[in-house]
Structure 1
Amino acid sequence: MFGTNVVIVFDFDRTLIDDDSDRWVVHNMGLTHFFNNLRLILPWNALMDRMMEELHSQGKTVEQIAECLKHVPLHPRTISAIESAHDLGCDLKIVSDANQFYIETILKHHRLDRCFSEIITNPTMVDGDGRLRIFPYHDMASFCGCNLCPPNLCKGLVIEKIRASRSEKEKSRFIYLGDGRGDYCPTLKLDRRDYVMPRKGFPLWDRLLSNPNLLKAECHEWSNGEELESILIQLIEKICKE
């Protein structure tokens, strides 16, 4: 248990899992046409809640949505990386613009829920009619005005709060794994002693390449679960030896 000062923050879609959970449900539950008709009208968070309303109107249950999510691809080496990091004593968290129900369902299916101390995402609930509801993490009153993030979730603000919650004695070192545009803001909040692991060929990687001088953290790219596991464990071991 030598990684107790290491905080590992995972994005979820196309980082921890190998697909986008929202689009997975839309496609596999037959909502693609309906989704495309509303895509340019509604903001993403409201759009996903509207998709759940449509599924409910079609008689689809929360249990059917959960069953669909259990088939989302997750690389076996990503699973072993998460388990290894947890067993080494690292504090693992998820910060994602997906939603609570999707993330918890997938983690529990792979028996990974025990590995994460915190999941910060858009909250969900099942209402009295049995419909899954999806809500924004930030309401408009608390939105920080960040121009890099969607209004429902500023990951940079979340990273700042996580860091502030750690005591000075802990001297926490962060490793951030992400792929998308929404992962750029939190990456800029990392310090020189931290690490960022962008997925190669995805928007975060492209943006970091285009303006590397804004980044303080050390950057290590990865492409698949095998590389993710290898690099992540190497970084944990490196931190613990310093």
Structure 2
Amino acid sequence: MSGIVVVFDFDKTIVDVDSDNWVIDELGFTDLFNQLLPTMPWNSLMDKMMMELHSNGKTIEDIEEVLHRIPLHPRVIPAIQAAHTLGCDLRIVSDANMFFIETILKHLGIREYFSEISTNPGYVNEEERLRILPYHDFNKASHGCSLCPPNMCKGLIIDRIQDSILEEGKKRMIYLGDGSGDYCPSLRLKERDFMMPRKNFPVWDLICKDPLLVKAEIHGWSDGEELEQVLLHLINKISMEENAQFISSDCKLQTLSVSAHEDLPKVLPVRP
């Protein structure tokens, strides 16, 4: 099973809400956020909002407490645990930020299941204020993708992961996501991969406009229970296919061995 890489989006995929909105809403800054939203990119706005929280006396502990009670479906953690137990390489590609994601995963006790998290940097500075920076520094150069927000092209991240797993001998990828930012990576998947879009969410709607643009097999899901069912079904399907290929190739080797043996000249018994 080591040949399978499962890539999860985070917001509205692992957790059931947008973690940025959750923190802003729970700490009472929704109105200011909505007021500033038209004036700057989302990622830049989140950094500014963390400054506003700090200026108004909200601490890192306040943010952590809010993150610890973020809602998620009860079947998501068992799904992640099962995929990890079956030997899958689990990764996260998210337009949230490292501080939010790691705080939540550590609280849930599942951080160690993920070999890599690709997301916007998030860290606490010397003033005890949370800073949130862009994954791609668009102030220096554009990532060149018209489908994605300026701070992150998930498609480029998937390209890099695909290159790295080929070097490691891994073959298949399963990608789970919900948002419009998950559409670009869906177009980078190969024919032997699987795309799991959340039904009736932005990425589902984009894929449904022209499903043939996605080379991977498409398997939708609606909630954590269906996420678990579909994901484990696909892992099992890949496992069965790989076992069948192994048995088939093993049989061929045995047949070749027998054929080669039959072609050898017979040794006549030596008369005493």
Name the TM-score, length of structure 1 as normaliser. 0.97
**Structure 2 residue matching 1:184: 3-state secondary structure:** helix
**Alignment-derived partner of residue 77 in structure 1:** 75
How far did 1:124 drift?
Answer: 1.2
Corresponding position of 1:209: 208
Unmatched 5+ stretches in structure 1 = none
Higher helix content, 1 or 2: 2
Matched residue, 1:174: 173
Q: Distance in 2 between matches of 1:226 and 1:196?
A: 17
Counterparts of 1:143 and 1:6, CA distance in 2: 31
C-alpha distance in structure 2 between counterparts of 1:241 and 1:135, whole Å: 43
Distance 1:78 1:142 in 2: 37
What is the deviation of 1:169? 6.2
Q: Does 1:108 align with 2:124?
A: no
Give CA-to-partner distance per residue, 1:137-194, whole Å, 9 cap, x none. Answer: 0112353210000111100000000011123562420000000000000000001100
SS at 1:119's partner residue?
Answer: strand
Aligned length: 240
Number of the residue aligned with 2:55: 57
**Structure 1 vs Structure 2 CA RMSD:** 1.0
Corresponding residue number in structure 1 for 2:190: 191
Q: Counterpart amino acid of 1:134?
A: I
Hey, what does 2:154 align to over in structure 1? 155
Runs of 4+ aligned residues of structure 1 deviating over 3 Å after TM superposition are: none
Q: Give the letter aligned to residue 155 of structure 1.
A: K
Whole-Å separation in 2 of the counterparts to 1:64 and 1:151: 29
Between the aligned partners of 1:231 and 1:125, the Cα distance in structure 2 is: 35
CA distance in 1, matches of 2:141, 2:115: 24
Match of 2:36 in 1: 38
Residue 22 of structure 1: aligned partner: 20
CA distance in 2, matches of 1:63, 1:169: 40
Deviation at 1:63, TM superposition (A): 1.1
Q: Distance in 2 between matches of 1:4 and 1:161?
A: 19
Higher relative contact order (CA 8 A, sep 6+): 1
Measure, in 1, the Cα distance between the counterparts of 2:142 and 2:116: 21
Alignment identity in percent? 59
What is residue 121 of structure 2 aligned with on the other side? Answer: 123
TM score, norm. by length of structure 2: 0.86
Inter-CA distance 240–143: structure 2 relative to 1 (3 Å threshold): farther
Distance in 2 (alpha carbons) for counterparts of 1:76 and 1:169? 33
Question: Corresponding residue for 2:265?
Answer: none
Q: Matched residue of 1:30: which SS?
A: coil
Q: Please list the CA deviations of residues 198-223 of structure 1 after superposition, one character each: whole Å capped at 9, or x if unmatched.
A: 00010000111111110100000000
